[in-house]
Amino acid sequence: MTTAVIGLGLIGGTFALALKDEKISTSIIGVENNEIHASKALQLGLVDEVLPLIEAVKKADLIILATPVTIASEQLTEILNNISTQIVTDTGSTKLGLIEAIKNHPKRGRYVPSHPMWGTEFSGPEAARHNVLNGIVNIICDKNDSDEDALEFIENIYNRIGMRLVYMNSVAHDTHLAYVSHISHISSFALANTVLGKEKEEDTIFNLASSGFESTVRLAKSNAATWVPVFKQNKENVLDVLNEYISQLRKFKSALEKENWEYLNELIENSNEIKRVLDKNVKDENISLKQISKQVVSKK
Amino acid sequence: MTTAVIGLGLIGGTFALALKDEKISTSIIGVENNEIHASKALQLGLVDEVLPLIEAVKKADLIILATPVTIASEQLTEILNNISTQIVTDTGSTKLGLIEAIKNHPKRGRYVPSHPMWGTEFSGPEAARHNVLNGIVNIICDKNDSDEDALEFIENIYNRIGMRLVYMNSVAHDTHLAYVSHISHISSFALANTVLGKEKEEDTIFNLASSGFESTVRLAKSNAATWVPVFKQNKENVLDVLNEYISQLRKFKSALEKENWEYLNELIENSNEIKRVLDKNVKDENISLKQISKQVVSKK
């Protein structure tokens, strides 16, 4: 089988490696506008050749779209315009924008929207990694809008890579993701800017960064080319959560200003509940994933 | 040598283990008001016996104060009232409050304020760990206010545990720590509260928490008994940084509301600078630590 991977960054490169490692795809064609990334991807063996978009699409059985979500929205129409029975999936962190862009396209059924819940703070083809997708949740959205054979084909491939499939409608997906992922990034970006503002005065501050700071600020290494499009496409949800986040921070501010230590204690103890939830997550992973699939499917 | 460790939680317990492991202390007396923690610490072998504060102080050559910082402030006076030539150090995340509390005490010189830059999100004696302090920065504050022999004694012990000593005045310490540690905690606590608020509606959201969310929210597992006192003692600095943090978040909000994607891009790229700083930190660690020591000492 021949696969076209559109966008040879962290995610596209990692999927290219997984398809090769699992012997799912014998030939991988890359599509990449950035020439440095393109030749790096060839050099690293992520892809066998690099071709222009339409040429790659026409030669491929499977097309995986892994460009920033705003670019992916534009490319998706072009891809669907140029396929016959091939199958298209994507890896974007927002889903509604992509799906809306092609909802009335005659080839809509060939597209299976998906979102693998994996990433690192690094970017570019050098960031691609072997053997990291096994066990990772991959969310398939609006599955009833894909052709049955296309859905089955994509499910089969993700299963062979070892991914755990979760089904969700695209509206719920984008709301959930604003909470569990997008706001974490804004929280880290703003934290980095806060501390970097201070650095002008105190160059030494960073030597004191213990692991607590490093883990909280880790996502601030994530690149703008990926994240501006995500925030653009998920603007309303992200704004809702950001407003809620600022209002939660104001509660800490108010507790400090009023020296209301009981309230501060309550705010912290409330936040500690995250421990129970995350721990439950680890223990009951399989059960929860089954539950989530059922719940989400039943909502559709 | 006999050591009294006051407060048998994560930090006190970890120092007790280090002193035993490095054969620095042959006998360790614990002081702990929480009876469950006290018997757990005995059972785990963190300490050889548990005694009331004054009794322990009188029997010890070295006293390590590892209770929450507001309690430590009160205990420090009581300890200094009851020592002759023994030496006292502490492990608190704020320094000015403790030092102010005893600045005119006739035994001030026997106290060497220190802050080991280590911790985890766990608490209690079960959270104590072996072999984790080696290579960790330990900040000694206002060193000229300690007796020369007491300072040397403490430096020697921390060196034997493998800690890297940094010297700083207590005012600078508390400002720096608000930036590199205290705000990270508030950022995580508030993030957890934001997401937990949502959980009431969507029990399934947590199954989607990828590693990005988990690392950003990790510190929200930290306990209120430690952190309320820190915020209490470092109130003004923490409020300054929190205001700055909220104002940085408002920039993201404004960029989103105005759909000013260029500005959003700029905000993210600016935050990416943290990568350079944290990476520099790893590479130039030894040089920077020497620099920091010189700079801070010269400020005193």
Backbone angles phi, psi at A4, to 5 degrees: -100, 125
Residues 6+ apart with CB under 8 A from A84: none
Verify whether the Cβ–Cβ distance A246 to B245 is below 8 Å: no
Distance from CA of A123 to the nearest CA of B (A): 12
Residues of B in contact with A259 (CB under 8 A): 232, 235
Choose the closest CB to B239 out of A199, A243, A256.
Answer: A256
Backbone angles phi, psi at A137, to 5 degrees: -70, 135
Residues 6+ apart with CB under 8 A from B262: none
Residues of B in contact with A10 (CB under 8 A): none
Instruction: Report pLDDT for B283.
Output: 46
Count CB pairs under 8 A between chains A and B. Answer: 311
Q: Whose CA is closest to A104, among A145, A70, A63, A143?
A: A145
Per DSSP, the three-state class of B29 is strand
Q: Whose CA is closest to B186, among A40, A179, A6, A248?
A: A248
A2-168 and A173-299, same CATH topology: no
pLDDT in tens, B109-159: 999 999 999 988 889 999 999 999 999 999 999 999 999 999 999 999 999
Residues of A in contact with B245 (CB under 8 A): 190-191, 194, 249
Q: How many CA atoms lie within 13 A of A257 on its CB side?
A: 9
Give B295's pLDDT tier (boundaries 50, 70, 90): very low
Give B214's pLDDT tier (boundaries 50, 70, 90): confident
Residues 6+ apart with CB under 8 A from A10: A119, A120, A122, A123, A124, A127, A128
Give A173's pLDDT tier (boundaries 50, 70, 90): very high
Interval A10-25 mean pLDDT: 97
CA distance A293 to A37: 37
Scanning chain B, the segments in alpha helix (DSSP H) are 10-21, 35-43, 53-59, 69-81, 96-101, 148-161, 170-177, 183-199, 211-217, 224-233, 235-257, 261-271, 273-283, 285-299
pLDDT in tens, A138-160: 999 999 999 999 999 999 999 99
Residues of B in contact with A197 (CB under 8 A): 244, 248
Mean pLDDT over the full length of chain A: 89
For B298, other C-beta atoms within 10 Å of its C-beta total 7
CA distance B141 to B111: 10
Closest A-chain CA to B246:
A246
Verify whether the Cβ–Cβ distance A184 to B212 is below 8 Å: yes
Closest A-chain CA to B115:
A208
Interval B68-94 mean pLDDT: 96
Distance from CA of A225 to the nearest CA of B (A): 8
Choose the closest CB to B249 out of A119, A139, A186.
Answer: A186
CA distance B213 to A31: 30
Backbone angles phi, psi at B62, to 5 degrees: -125, 135
Instruction: Report pLDDT for A50.
Output: 98
Q: Which fold has domain A2-168?
A: Rossmann fold (3.40.50)
CA distance B228 to B224: 6
Residue A282 reports pLDDT greater than 60: no
In chain B, domain spans: 2-168, 173-299
For an interface test with B, give the residue of A70, A208, A242, A261 to mutate (most B CBs within 10 A): A208
**Predicted ipTM of the assembly:** 0.85
Residue B35 reports pLDDT greater than 70: yes
Residue A298 reports pLDDT greater than 50: no
Give the pair of three-digit tokens for residue B66.
Answer: 């590892």
Q: Convert A180-206 to b/e letters by CB count within 10 Å (16 or more is b).
A: bbbbbbbbbbbbbbbbbbbeeebebbb
Residues of B in contact with A292 (CB under 8 A): 204, 207
CATH architecture for residues A173-299: Orthogonal Bundle (1.10)
Instruction: Report pLDDT for B275.
Output: 83
Write down how long chain B is: 300
CA distance B239 to B257: 26
Interval A203-215 mean pLDDT: 65
